[in-house]
Amino acid sequence: MQLSLLVRRVRGPLFNSMIVMSGYVLSRITGLGRDVIIARQFGTSADLGAYYAAFRVTDLLYMVIIGGALGSSFIPVFIQVWQRDGVERAWYLASAVVSWALLLLALASTVLWLLAPALAARIFGGTATDVALTAQIIRLFLLSPLLLGLGGLAMAALNAQDRFTLPALAPAIYNLGIIGGAVLLAPQWGVWGLSWGVIIGAALYLLIQLPGLWRMGMCLQITLGRQVTELKTIAQQMTPRVFGQAAAQISLLITAALTTRLALGFEQLAGLNYAYQLMLLPYGVFALSLSTVAFPRLARLIAEGQHTELHASVRRTLAIILCLTLPATAGLLILNIPLVRLLFQRGEFDQVSLAHTVAPMLGYATALPAFAASEILIRTFYAMQRTWPPVLIGLFQVALNLSIGTLALLLGGGVSMLTLAFSFANNVEVLLLFILLGRQQPGIWRDRRLWHSIRAALLATGVVALFWYGMKYYSLAWLPFLALTGQYAWQRDSILLLLWLVVVGGAGCVLYILVAAACGMHEAQELWARLRRYLSRVSH
């Protein structure tokens, strides 16, 4: 009996971690499929640019009022009340949180509904047609923060009781709703069909989690909970995280807003979003999933005062993230044209759309390692309950991005310069986080293995980058579509392009592991040993 209990305790966190990571992978796969379908139907049209502009505005509203900040503040208090005062009072607390969130969303949505035309003109500019369409889609999208917000609170309540399966599926279901809008509604309604797909996806995001809440005994009511003292605790913990969430979203909104000031700005904004989504693929699969899984352990180690174990856990997670995202950066920089062609170039996505998508890749690719590393650094600060330092650094990053991006625009720079401004600001942010965490946790970076792994990853990435560049250069003679100006026909060339990417990309990954292992990277040596054992079993 004791052995069975021990097995469940060990298996539980590992199993939950696998569920969370699988959910992130599934979300990114469905997100990529969503973008492939949207690209085929809309290319980089101005209407699609208006759709993405409206999305940025309402996404900011969701993140500020009811996004991840509320969920991360609500979970520990909900658990505490559930265990201390029982199920009934825990659901009363949840009722008060939901009621306040709905009230704030209703007020903010009303204001945004009234100001949508003025905000669209002020933030994005563009032609009168572009501004009017953006404002109209913003008004439709105001339904989305409400549904996603309730879904986010449902996710927080389920996670608080170690129920991870339905929350892990919810983002993929959201993407499937958008795909349904693109496939079923957009052929007749255009961008409005795609926009209604967002609302349908947000509704499904909430609905899929309701069965889990019912099994938990959900009992909600409308109340402001004036006698619930824990509301003040949630509000106090949430405040700095709101600023942190807002800083990241505002930085993305700034880059989008500056892009619309360029010639064909709304068309370039559509391409900007495709490039950003490609960057998010390795970021979500590697950095976000690893950091999410690591966060509860970091918080527990802080609570137990085990600083040596804390330092080791942060270093190991950071090393793995960098070792995975550095070669991904090289791939996005060198293989961007064949990747974008294979994934997106068909239907309405033509040669012009390709140019609009490839141009921002330089900035987003060089931002990837910093964007990824900041996840584990920020969560370490949150685990230490020191939320203001990363928030202040995040606000500085926003100001830096806005200043450099505006200067680049005034000097005649294009969208690539705007994303380079984004990259520079994010790299400065992660450097400041790294330095400040080292001061607040003395000795955390005094580890030879960490620096050895980073040096090995940089060297291996350089070797792989040269390999990919050489293969691309010498393949141009018989595969001219690997270059931006080459002619590409999807039905004729896609199989050949896929084979080239699989062979060259796969060989580069193997080369990266070999070089990194030869340079003494512990993580690469472990991976190579596992691959050899697997190949040995298969061959026998």
pLDDT score, position 398: 92
Segment 202-216 mean pLDDT = 91
pLDDT score, position 471: 97
User: CA 429, CA 207: separation in Å to the nearest integer?
Assistant: 37
Residue 129, domain member (yes or no): yes
Range of the domain at 62: 1-218
252 falls in which pLDDT band (50, 70, 90)? confident
Which tokens in the block code for residue 484? 């931006």
pLDDT score, position 71: 60
Judge whether residue 4 has pLDDT over 60.
no
pLDDT score, position 329: 97
**Residue-wise pLDDT tens digits, 135-182:** 999 999 998 888 888 888 788 778 767 777 888 899 999 999 999 999
Distances (CA, A) of 502 to 336, 426, 506: 14, 31, 6
Contact status, residue 207 vs residue 169, Cβ threshold 8 Å: no
Tell me the one-letter amino acid at 122: R
User: CA 502, CA 461: separation in Å to the nearest integer?
Assistant: 18
What does pLDDT average to over the chain? 87
Residue 236, domain member (yes or no): no
**Residue-wise pLDDT tens digits, 211-229:** 988 888 777 788 887 778 8
Lowest mean pLDDT among 20-29, 106-115, 287-296, 344-353: 287-296
Lowest mean pLDDT among 2-6, 104-108, 284-288: 2-6
User: Which residue matches tokens 């062609």?
Assistant: 341
Distances (CA, A) of 475 to 338, 351, 469: 12, 20, 10
State the total domains in the chain.
Answer: 1
pLDDT score, position 69: 58
pLDDT score, position 79: 74
Tell me the one-letter amino acid at 112: L
pLDDT score, position 96: 87
**Residue-wise pLDDT tens digits, 41-84:** 999 999 999 999 999 998 887 777 666 556 667 777 777 788 78
Residues 6+ apart with CB under 8 A from 506: none
Backbone φ and ψ of 335, nearest 5°: -100, 15
CB count, 10 Å around CB of 14?
10
Length of the chain: 540
pLDDT score, position 526: 79
Tell me the one-letter amino acid at 244: G
pLDDT score, position 8: 41
**Residue-wise pLDDT tens digits, 487-527:** 999 989 999 999 999 999 999 999 999 999 999 888 778 77
pLDDT score, position 433: 96
Segment 193-200 mean pLDDT = 96
Residue 181, domain member (yes or no): yes
pLDDT score, position 273: 94
Residue 305, domain member (yes or no): no
374 falls in which pLDDT band (50, 70, 90)? very high
Residue 285, domain member (yes or no): no
Residue 471, domain member (yes or no): no
pLDDT score, position 436: 96
Residue 12, domain member (yes or no): yes
Which tokens in the block code for residue 44? 């980089």
Q: Which residue has the higher pLDDT, 431 or 383?
A: 431
467 falls in which pLDDT band (50, 70, 90)? very high
Residue 414, domain member (yes or no): no
**Residue-wise pLDDT tens digits, 7-28:** 344 445 556 667 777 888 899 8
Q: Which residue has the higher pLDDT, 79 or 261?
A: 261
pTM: 0.87
